[in-house]
Amino acid sequence: MAVSSGLLALVGLVSPMLIAFSMMGSDPQLRRDLFKRAFTFNGLSTPYVLTTCFLMLGSILLAQSISLLFGHSPDQFSFAETTSFSFGLFPAWFLLFLAPVFEELAWHTYGTDCLRARFNLLTTSLIFGVFWVIWHMPLAFIKDYYHSNVVVTGWVYSLNFAISLFPFVILMNWLYFKTNRNILVPIIFHITAGLFNELFQTHPDSKVIQTVLLLVLSLYLIHKERLFFFDRAVPGREKA
């Protein structure tokens, strides 16, 4: 059962990327755009590189520090001996790197850009946040998988996971368009989100605090860069 569920989950993980590539394959302009943006360091500057690599680490460490004020143990800062979930035949640590690559090669090669062509950045991010909540729901029914383990911990933490996707998507898309739609950026940002939340013995309450911190940061950026989030023009994209 674990083997079959793991294989099905892997098929589901790879499918959006294959569909996105097949849709782009028939359009020469989309192919050129993809090759120009894939696995390149163009458009990267030090502040955005540092934010991409370390924002999620900083937010979980700050959240754990704040949780100490509410009586939680400093043991949270110890490295976890094992991951909080399993993935059938595949090591969980392998999935933490594999899933972001496959997902972002779908979402940020085709999916996000299609939405952004029709909506401003904030609306695009909110729509995609709703989609991502729905996308992750079936994973809650896979035994010992991360999302099913979250459900077991209680509805508060399940709701927190769903809410956390919105600031995560807003921040990821902000970085993505700030770096001229560099595909490496959302891949790395996505990897760090999973990796650093598994690296420590983090209490679930700290993840709730982390969500609050990321929401505050997202709202600050939306307020500070209103034109960037509400303008219909797409930064970093050439007109046909």
Render pLDDT for 86-140 as a digit per residue (tens, 0 to 9): 666 667 787 889 889 999 999 999 999 999 999 999 999 999 999 999 988 887 8
Q: What is the pLDDT of residues 177-189, one digit of tens each?
A: 999 999 999 999 9
Spatial distance between the Cα atoms of 200 and 172, rounded to a whole number of angstroms: 22
Quickly count: other Cβ atoms within 10 Å of residue 179's Cβ: 23
Spatial distance between the Cα atoms of 184 and 41, rounded to a whole number of angstroms: 8
pTM for the complete prediction? Answer: 0.91
Q: What is the pLDDT of residues 115-125, one digit of tens each?
A: 999 999 999 99
Angle between helices 184-199 and 155-178 (to 10 degrees): 150
Q: Name every residue whose Cβ is closer than 8 Å to that of residue 66 and which is 6 or more positions away in sequence.
A: 206, 209
Residue 121 in contact with residue 171, Cβ under 8 Å? no
Spatial distance between the Cα atoms of 19 and 32, rounded to a whole number of angstroms: 17
Q: What is the pLDDT of residues 3-39, one digit of tens each?
A: 566 677 778 788 889 989 888 888 888 888 888 888 7
